[in-house]
């Protein structure tokens, strides 16, 4: 179980790795890249050159209550990822959080690795909300994409949607809110399309400091230095590139703390800094 923790202004942030599947060839995850392209980014690969992203989500505790940003891969086993299962509930317990403590679950988007724990089976095997008091929230564009059939996404994403999200909607437990709106006091959606058409980050401010939970804007820290690389799960790669360039420029300018669920724990929170050309990823505690 791997968790990163940070006291940040009025908030406590915990980055929870729900699971970490077996390494894969990074050139397969990033179509068009070569082994040589990855050489400058070896530190983000395994010893034998594999790409092994965390499947993470974030817990925020602060004045607005207890908020979960995304819901991991779920209990599994998930056949698409070698039957991996997640450990989110155990991780929450280790942080002193029960499912009934969670006030809100805010989805950045509805890919399968972000919705897994939304529903769990009850005693009769029927899916029911895993966080019984929580307000579950998704943005309007993202909801329109998935409820409209999610054209172009692979079957395992649609299966997760049917298992974990559709039952929420059927039970009236899923709030659909305007893109860019504030689902919880002090937290605001920030549209950044690409990974999905309605993909959004979440902005938080505390005492004049800014944080942005940027979800799947990037899947690997190498993409900060190479923002034109697109992960194979991006539904609209060109929109994703534009979103990265826009977010990096703005966040490097105003010193926003960034959080990425797929980055390895320990490097999942940090800053985008200007480099000689472009940008570089500076994990917290690793200031050059």
Nearer residue to Zn ion within complex by CB, 113 or 282 = 113
Nearer residue to Zn ion within complex by CB, 81 or 252 = 81
Minimum CB distance to Zn ion, residue 112 (Å): 8
Q: What angle do CA 214, 218, 224 make, to 5 degrees?
A: 105
Closest by CA position to 258, among listed 248, 271, 246, 249? 271
The Cα-based distances of 20 to 16, 53, 137, 213, 286 in angstroms read 11, 6, 25, 20, 23
Instruction: Look up residue 264 and give its DSSP letter.
Output: P
**String of contacts with Zn ion for each residue 105-124, x by CB under 5 A:** --------x-----------
**Binders in 177-206 for Zn ion, by CB under 5 A:** none
Nearer residue to Zn ion within complex by CB, 216 or 234 = 216
| Residue 268 is a binding residue for Zn ion (CB under 5 A) | no
Nearer residue to Zn ion within complex by CB, 92 or 115 = 115
| Angstrom distance (rounded) from CA 242 to CA 219 | 15
**Binders in 224-253 for Zn ion, by CB under 5 A:** none
Nearer residue to Zn ion within complex by CB, 113 or 268 = 113
- Beta strand 257-259 pairing with 65-69: unpaired
| Residue 216 is a binding residue for Zn ion (CB under 5 A) | yes
Q: How many CA atoms lie within 13 A of 79 on its CB side?
A: 5
| Angstrom distance (rounded) from CA 204 to CA 183 | 11
Q: How many CA atoms lie within 13 A of 175 on its CB side?
A: 14
Part of the chain binding Zn ion (CB under 5 A), chosen from 58-66, 87-95, 128-136, 216-224? 216-224
| Residue 282 is a binding residue for Zn ion (CB under 5 A) | no
Minimum CB distance to Zn ion, residue 216 (Å): 4
Minimum CB distance to Zn ion, residue 283 (Å): 19
Which residues here bind Zn ion, judged by CB under 5 A? 113, 216
């Amino acid at each position: 179980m791997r968790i990163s923790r940070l006291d940040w202004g009025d908030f406590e942030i915990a980055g929870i790795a729900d699971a970490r599947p077996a390494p894969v060839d990074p050139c397969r995850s990033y179509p068009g890249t070569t082994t040589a392209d990855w050489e400058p980014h070896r530190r983000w690969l395994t010893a034998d050159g594999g790409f092994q992203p965390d499947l993470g989500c974030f817990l925020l505790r602060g004045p607005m209550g207890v908020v979960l940003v995304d819901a991991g891969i779920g209990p599994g086993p998930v056949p698409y990822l070698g039957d991996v299962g997640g450990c989110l509930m155990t991780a929450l317990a280790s942080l002193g959080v029960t499912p009934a403590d969670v006030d809100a679950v805010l989805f950045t988007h509805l890919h399968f690795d972000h919705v897994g724990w939304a529903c769990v089976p009850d005693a009769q095997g029927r899916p029911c909300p895993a966080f019984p008091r929580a307000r579950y929230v998704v943005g309007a564009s993202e909801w329109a994409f998935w409820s409209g059939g999610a054209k172009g996404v692979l079957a395992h994403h649609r299966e997760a949607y049917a298992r974990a999200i559709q039952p929420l909607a059927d039970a009236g437990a899923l709030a659909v809110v305007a893109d860019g709106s504030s689902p919880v006091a002090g937290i605001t959606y920030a549209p950044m399309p690409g990974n999905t058409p309605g993909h959004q980050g979440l902005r938080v401010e505390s005492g004049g400091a800014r944080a942005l939970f940027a979800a799947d804007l990037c899947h690997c820290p190498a993409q900060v230095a190479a923002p034109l690389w697109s992960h194979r799960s991006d539904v609209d790669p060109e929109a994703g590139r534009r979103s990265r360039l826009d977010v990096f420029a703005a966040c490097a300018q105003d010193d926003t703390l960034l959080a990425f669920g797929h980055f390895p724990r320990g490097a999942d929170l940090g800053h985008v800094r200007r480099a000689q050309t472009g940008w570089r990823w500076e994990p917290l505690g690793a200031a050059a």
